[in-house]
Chain A
Amino acid sequence: MIAPQFNTEMEFFMDPQRCIGCHACEMACAECETNGQLPMITVDYVKRATSPQTVMQICMHCEDPACAKVCPADAIVKDEFGVVMSANTSRCVGCSNCVLACPFGVPKKIELSDLMMKCNMCYDRTSVGKRPMCATVCPSGALWYGTREKLERLRPNSTPINTFVFGKQEVKTKVHYMMPKGSTKLVVD
């Protein structure tokens, strides 16, 4: 196996405010040969009756991933670059613990194969220096992959945060959310 050339200066940022609901990310994600035409990103309306606002959800790649913690088969691992891998298919028992535990609702149980699948940040692309498919095609910059320095130059009025507060639990992630300038965390009631 060729050693990964993961560029650690490249980071993933998402800004749902910019999402236009076009689904280019989903369709591009599904093209990945390891996904079998299943997208590992979802785009949904928040409430179409009142707004065209859509949001996309990718794996946030938690620093201390709940999905891995609850996995009885140790099928989910985080690698040295902080990427939380999709379940190792030879270990996954299809128990859905990860599906229930993830605070962002990311892992999916694929009924056909009885296995969990989720985003692994396009490891086949990012490990050879390319950008993930979804963030490459996203036409509005709602999904963006690059250096923090470039991002700060491009979006001087926004701040990336990676701390999410769910009740009493604080979750830190590899993927960042764009928030108004000066924000430090996102509190989810």
Chain B
Amino acid sequence: MARPPVSEERLAADFGPHLNYAPPEGVPGREEPDDIVETHCCFCGMQCGIKLLVKENRVVGFEPWEEFPFNEGRLCPKGVQRYLQDNHPDRLTRPLEGRAGEGFVPVGWEHALDRTVREIRRIQEQYGRQAFGMLSGVSLTNEKSYLVGKFARVALQTPNLDYNGRLCMVSAGAGNKKAFGMDRACNPWSDMTHAEVIMICGANVSETFPTLTHWVWTGRDNGAKLIVVDPRLTPIARTADLHLAIRPGRDSALYSAILRELIVHDWLDHDFIAQHTSGFEAASEAVQDYTLEWAETVTGIPASKIAQAAEWWGAAKTSFLCHARGIEHQTKGVENVSACINLVLATGRIGRPYCGYGTITGQGNGQGGREHGHKTDQLPGNRDIENPEDRRFIADIWGIPEPELPHSGYTAYELLEAIHRGEIKGLLSICFNPVVSLPNNNMVREALDKLEFYACIDFFLSETARHADIVLAGSLQEEEDGTVTTAEGRVVRIRAAVRPPGEARRDTAILLELARRLGAGDKFAYETSEDIFNELRRASRGSRADYFGITYEKVEKNMGIFWPCPDLDHPGTPRLWEDHQFRTPDQRAHFVPVKYHDPGEVTDDEFDVILTTGRVVSQYLSGTQTRRIGRLVDQYPEPLLELHPALARRKKIAERELVRVVTRRGSAIFPAQIVETIREDTVFIPYHWPGKKSVNMLTSGHLDPVSKIPEFKVSACRLEPTGQQAPPPSETQAWQAT
């Protein structure tokens, strides 16, 4: 049973999170580094260029990389502090075995690998191949993402592989495939420069993609009007010309009403619609009843503001629409995306300079990681695992008979549910901390407890890794060569700045050794990361994510290459659709009709307030890395319950009073932060924290039926003031809550 071997408090004391600060004089060696390595930040989808300073196989500091074209040296606080994840006291340097009552005991690699392989074999022989699952993540490079996909299908031969991209941008991917037949942001961010209108839909740009703020302002400096749709007045919404404070979970109503306005006022590009799209009539019909007044009732945004947004969008000659998790983390995430794309297609502003559209991918390799095959329904090159032709193509590359290639399995949340039901008995995970990041995480913890065997590859003992029987000490991003693909579709080089410390091994080396021991070594004969990339290039050739013409050399020489890049002489494609040849079967962009429906959970007498979740600028995802860096923790030490003064008055809640927030899944206590910058019917709690500080105990497991993304953005909750004041933030130690 994969329960934590000793109390979580003891594990936190032994393995952290502990806070790492630079000493006052700086990390020794910073002034005279042996090497200055041009690479990229390990955090969000912007993948800012950064130089790491290296002394004696230690990362000792950073220097801005001003020549890299996207960020030109600009960084956010996470980027500035990211080097402190190196030389961290919590860093795992040896394999560990969880022993009940004893804790995690260091063991040799031979024992760790041998036991892992024995357990995989035992479980698969006893219960079937599918009873062993794998979970992965898109902070991994393209090479590792590809390798994990192949490892699960060829070495484990299980269909039950999925990844944390399922919590990230799968709704956008599905919406983009429906509309364009391809899944990539259509433009580089520099196309904001002369956009007349920039519309940001459900994206807290300045906290989650701080360096994208530069490009928004570049447009604004040239006169762009900025429209921001968000239930909160975020830092980017504060500067907007129009802030549409939408009721969480009602987004498609807004975009559908705007489409109706475009039609009513004939703010349409009829030539583009006629020549390059299909489905306009059905999409128009779907929105015919969605008047401004109706939309006001549903979204809580005054009709006049919706009309203003429609007028600006309708009259513009150039524009850029981008969205992120705000509209995607919903049971209608895909529909919200389609409703946004319909606005872009109706006005024909795509495939031209300064006419842009795209999702802002959240994770470091959210783009590349979702193309190359550790998503359960997908094979490399964004191929379909159920498509016979795609299956044959990949089976040939992998040297296996097509019938042996597993089919689609469970998506991430469903996979945990299957463990909970006892269908899946064993698990291998890498780069995923579902105990913090999945919704309804009381269920997630119970599920992990039920596993007969769980092995985890990680560099810190994350909250999820505490459940592992075997922990395989893996590598940080800066310890292995590879590539990632940024949110704008640019493939860039990640450099191995240092070697893994102690006995820790590169993730790739661990997976290759496991494959060898599982008897599939001949299918995994790679010497270098570049060997894996070269196989990925072939596997993606001719696909809807074509990397064939991209080589390490080209990437290095050009500071990145935008895919698609079909052959070696091709320069890459920063802006999609300039030829208007969409990758759909009829080569047209598709309008998708969107009918509005309510979120999976609506408020009622018992649960009368909308709970929405999100992020803060100083933390990244489940916090495995950023909750270990002192200054980042100090900046926002504990999750706060943001609520409007009117709601606080109604509920008799005082500033910093501890409030119990209750949903149908559980309850947790947070200090109140009373601010006018949020809707009166909504409260907000950021999600990066574990244990009793985890808002994901409260969020629901309602999934989008197409993308299977959980509805993190909408739950119904009740607020119960406790009458007690919260202790000072510095005393909470929320970063290591159990």
Contacts and interface: CB of A to CB of B under 8 A. Distances in A.
A33 B74 contact: no
A157 interface: yes
A20 B210 contact: yes
B45 interface: no
Interface stretch (A1-9, A63-71, A138-146, A163-171): A138-146
B608 interface: no
Nearest to B24: A36
B68 interface: no
Interface string A120-163: 00000000000101001111110000000000001111100000
Interface string A35-51: 01100000000001111
A57 interface: no
Interface in B215-236: 217-218, 221-223, 233-236
A37 B239 CA distance: 32
A172 to B, nearest CB: 26
Contacts of B213: 18, 20, 139-141
Contacts of A131: 66, 73
B631 A27 contact: yes
Contacts of B30: 33
Contacts of A33: 25-26, 30-31
B64 interface: yes
A80 B663 CA distance: 64
B675 A18 contact: no
Contacts of A155: 221
A37 B206 contact: no
Interface in B69-111: 71, 73-77, 79-81
Given A24-B80, A155-B221, A139 B210 contact: yes
B66 A136 contact: yes
Contact of A50 (B217, B239, B676): B676
Contacts of B677: 50-52
B75 A141 contact: no
B312 interface: no
Nearest to A26: B77
A73 interface: no
A31 B206 contact: no
Nearest to A154: B221
A17 B24 CA distance: 32
Nearest to A155: B221
Nearest to B677: A52
Nearest to A157: B221
Contacts of B73: 131, 136-137
Given A33-B30, A50-B677, A24 B75 contact: yes
B6 to A, nearest CB: 35
B214 A140 contact: yes
A82 B478 CA distance: 41
Contacts of B64: 133, 136-137
A137 B77 CA distance: 9
B75 A20 contact: no
B676 A140 contact: no
A26 B674 CA distance: 26
Contact of B77 (A18, A23, A50, A140): A23
Interface in B17-38: 21-26, 30-31
A136 B74 contact: yes
A28 B22 contact: no
A141 B75 CA distance: 11
Given A33-B31, A37-B23, A157-B221, A51 B238 contact: yes
B635 A23 contact: yes
Nearest to A37: B24
Contacts of A138: 74
Contacts of B211: 139
Contacts of A154: 218, 221
B61 interface: yes
Contacts of A157: 221, 223
Contacts of B635: 23
A173 interface: no
Given A137-B64, A138-B74, A17 B239 contact: yes
A17 B206 CA distance: 13
Q: Chain A at the B interface: mostly helix, strand, loop or mixed?
A: loop
B233 A24 contact: no
Contacts of A133: 64
A52 B631 contact: no
A157 B617 CA distance: 29
Interface size of B as a range: 35 or more
B207 interface: yes
Contacts of B79: 24, 137
Given A48-B675, A141-B217, A20 B25 contact: no
B214 to A, nearest CB: 6
B707 interface: no
Nearest to B223: A157
Interface residues of A, number: 35
A21 B80 contact: no
B617 A22 contact: yes
A56 to B, nearest CB: 13
Contacts of A21: 206, 235, 617
A88 interface: no
A51 B71 CA distance: 27
Interface in B567-600: none
A96 interface: no
B193 to A, nearest CB: 10
B157 interface: no
Contact of A140 (B22, B206, B234): B206
A49 B674 contact: yes
Contacts of A97: none
Given A20-B207, A20-B213, A139-B76, A52 B221 contact: no
Contacts of B214: 139-141
B74 A20 contact: no
A31 B26 contact: yes
Contacts of B624: none
Nearest to A15: B217
A133 to B, nearest CB: 8
Contacts of B221: 154-158
B618 interface: yes
B686 to A, nearest CB: 14
Contacts of A49: 645, 674-676
Task: Among A27, A50, A53, find the residue whose CB has the most chain B CB atoms closer than 10 A.
Answer: A27
A29 to B, nearest CB: 10
A127 B537 CA distance: 46
A23 B616 CA distance: 12
A25 B409 CA distance: 46
A22 B26 contact: no
Interface string B648-687: 0000000000000000000000000111110000000000
B618 A137 contact: no
B420 to A, nearest CB: 39
Given A136-B66, A140-B214, A22 B675 contact: no
Contacts of B210: 20, 22, 24, 139-140
Given A24-B75, A136-B66, A52 B218 contact: no
A20 B631 contact: no
A143 B555 CA distance: 31
27 contacts: A18-B239, A20-B617, A21-B617, A22-B76, A22-B207, A23-B618, A24-B76, A24-B79, A26-B77, A28-B80, A31-B62, A33-B30, A36-B25, A51-B233, A51-B676, A52-B238, A53-B238, A54-B235, A131-B73, A137-B64, A137-B80, A139-B213, A140-B217, A141-B217, A156-B222, A157-B223, A158-B221
Given A24-B75, A50-B675, A137-B80, 7 more contacts: A23-B635, A27-B77, A31-B62, A52-B234, A133-B64, A139-B75, A141-B213
Interface of B: 21-26, 30-31, 61-62, 64, 66, 71, 73-77, 79-81, 206-207, 210-211, 213-214, 217-218, 221-223, 233-236, 238-239, 617-618, 631, 635, 645, 673-677
Q: Which 10 A/B pairs are nearest by Cβ-Cβ distance?
A: A20-B206, A36-B24, A139-B210, A20-B235, A140-B213, A139-B211, A137-B75, A27-B80, A136-B73, A136-B64
